[in-house]
Structure 1
Amino acid sequence: MINQNSENILNTQVEQASGEGYKFSWFDWFCLWYPPGWLILFNRHWQYYHSDPDGWNWLEYGLFLIPGGFYLALLSRWLRLGCRLPRIEVDEFNPKYQQAFRTEVLAFIVKYYFQGELQAIDNLPQTGPMIVAMNHAGMCFPWDFISLSYLLGETQGWVVQPLANPALFEHPWIVWWLPPKWSQVLGGVPAKLADFEAALAQGKILLYAPEGVRGPAKGWSQRYQLQKFDISFIQLSDRYQIPILPVLCIGSESLHPWTVNFKKLQRLFKLPFLPLSPLMIALIVFPSMGVWAMKTRLRYFIQPLEKDIYSTKNRTAAYQQAQKFRDKLQTQINQLLNK
């Protein structure tokens, strides 16, 4: 964890830069249009607000854009750093940077690329804390989560922190793709019971996938079929008397269509899932497309706040309660798909 002095330096850097804000150049607009460039845009925005001598440079950005060039860029950066991993120096959530990234980068992607929209917003409460529980899918970068977080922030002014798979924080590949502790600074909370409970105890608004990694790992053949729910959110909701706001996402299954999850390869590479599809040919040629997804329309249907979910210390009762909740949401998803 960084110390208080480091946190103050980070806040000062964001405040100084945010006086002008990040201005898109022609190159940034090109990166938005060209799928391998999304990763460049994320890193360039970070470098505008943070000092990151270990980050990618212009030569390496240029290599991202040509077939197979990412591998040369990776080699170049590794040699430039003295054959070591990038330094990890920042790991605290910074709502000021979250807001800057949301308004200066995410706004265009969510509104115009994914056409994200909230439905039934009358069901949104005025404030938190709460657990926002959503069906999570797509077998790709978690754009369904990120888009919902953006829309809730714009509509309600909420500071939303998603629970994210630990691989987004710790996996060696992520260290090379994205800036150091990028997920934490943007508000991600590791999907571990201790971190989940600590965040709820602090009264935060958490975006949570009750299916866990089973949701995106189920593959294209089981799209919109909710998998078994974990019970931790039921137990913690009861323990801290925090309500659950169910949200149903339609469109997320098309973020990476026609996928199959190869579990043996997934375990070999220590990934939460390994989606294989015709699109993987493009991803092998352009690995920087790992943060990109297919153009789709993400619609979020806000359900009434769940205030009457109670669990007991009996795990069996909590499990039954979670699956009853799952069945209820599955029925609602089926109704939305049939309209």
Structure 2
Amino acid sequence: MFEQLGDKVRQQLKGWTEQMAGPERKERLQALARTENEYGVDPFGFNLDFSLAAVAPLVWLYRHYHRVETFGIENVPAGRVLLVSNHSGQLPMDGAMIGVALMMEASPPRAIRSMVEKWVPTLPYVSAFFARVGQIVGTPENCRRLLNAGEAILVFPEGMRGISKLWPQRYQLQDFGLGFMRLALETDTPIVPVAVIGAEEQAPALMDLKPLAKLLGFPAFPITPTGLPIPLPTKYRLYFGEPLHFTGRADDEDSELDKKVRTVRAAIQTMIHQGLKERRSIFW
């Protein structure tokens, strides 16, 4: 009974997503399906039908709550690509909005695969949900397999340093890891820099209760003005830069890789400055 009810709800949500996408994009969304086994999932657990159902409320948030605007989304090339973005806002809404943008606005639509922190699979129910909607643990092996399969991967090289920033640090990029650059060089993958404007203000962190976070096994425990894990209706602006191509050895010295990483970081920071200058307000 409950299984049948769940299937019915999932099909209704999937239909809602396709309705919001429109008839033309509905057909193209079907092309997002990858090779599936007899259980309807790819080797990482991604299921297109489940993903289209799960994204329905995110599409509503995208269009009506955060009222997302995209700039330069045509810069995202076909085939394998690394989208490298700033990370902020305490809640992973930035990744969700980028994912919806690639699915609803890009031509052709892309099902983006996001790298999640290694501690995420320890959360009950969350790990299975993330797998079904295409998110995977950000190990080099997983990324390499997806890139070789021609996938689009979203990377937040600031990691927890970025998403858990306190309010005084807003729109200040934190240190970038080097892993994404090693993968780009190893697989000859272009990098598209992405800047997110609006996420910093959705849940501004006034302080981080580190002792409590350590006790609970969390990487951070931010305190926001509302005290609730609900984002404010800030207006999002997503900027997609032109693809960057790098050459060199993936096993090069960290100092050499860091020079290339700084190029990506500078491109993102430039778009952040542009976005902050262009917007009229946090909420519109």
TM, length-normalised to structure 1: 0.65
| Equivalent of 2:122 in 140, 165, 170 | 170
Per-residue deviation at 1:259?
Answer: 3.1
Q: Which moved more, 1:264-273 or 1:227-236?
A: 264-273
Q: State the shift of 1:218 in Å.
A: 2.1
Q: Does 1:252 align with 2:199?
A: yes
Report if aligned partners of 1:234, 1:311 keep a CA contact under 8 Å in 2: no
Aligned to 1:96, which of 44, 49, 67? 49
Matched, 1:205 2:152: yes
Could you tell me which residue of structure 2 aligns to residue 229 of structure 1?
Answer: 176
Aligned residue among 150, 153, 161 for 2:103: 153
Instruction: Give the CA deviation at 1:166.
Output: 2.7
Structure 2 residue runs of 5 or longer lacking an equivalent are: 16-43, 279-284
2:268 matched residue in structure 1: 329
1:30 is aligned to: none
Cα distance, 1:307 vs structure 2? 1.7
- 2:243 is paired with a residue whose SS is coil
Over residues 48-74 of structure 1, what are the superposed CA-to-partner deviations in whole Å (9 max), with x where a residue is unaligned? xxxxxxxxxxxxxxxxxxxxxxxxxxx
SS of the residue corresponding to residue 203 of structure 1 reads coil
Contact 1:165 1:272 in 2 (8 A): no
Q: Which has the higher helix share?
A: 1
> How far 1:279 moved relative to its partner?
1.9
Alignment of 1:234-245 (within 5 A): 234-245=181-192
- Residues 110-169 of structure 1 show CA distances to partners (whole Å, capped at 9, x for unaligned) of 1101111211233232x12111111110012x1110011011111221111111123332
RMSD across aligned C-alpha pairs, in angstroms? Answer: 2.7
How many residue pairs end up in the alignment? 245
Q: Does the aligned pair in 1 maintain the 2:193–2:242 contact within 8 Å?
A: yes
Counterpart Cα distance in 2 of 1:309 and 1:137: 30
What CA distance in whole angstroms lies between the structure 1 residues aligned with 2:171 and 2:273? 8
- Partners of 2:8 and 2:87 lie apart in 1 by 34
SS of 2:13's equivalent in the other structure is coil
Q: Is 1:301 the equivalent of 2:218?
A: no
1:133 aligns with 2:84: yes
Amino acid at match of 1:326: R
Q: In the superposition, relative to structure 1, how do residues 267 and 338 fare at CA in structure 2: closer, same or farther (>3 Å)? A: same
- Determine the structure 2 residue equivalent to 1:112: 64
Q: Which protein is bigger by CA-based radius of gyration?
A: 1
Cα separation, 2, equivalents of 1:247 and 1:309: 20
- Matched residues in 1 for 2:85 and 2:248: separation? 19
Structure 2 residue aligned with 1:122, among 67, 74, 96?
A: 74
2:259 maps to 1:317: no
SS at match of 2:195: strand
Q: Does the CA contact (< 8 Å) of 2:48 and 2:133 recur in 1?
A: yes
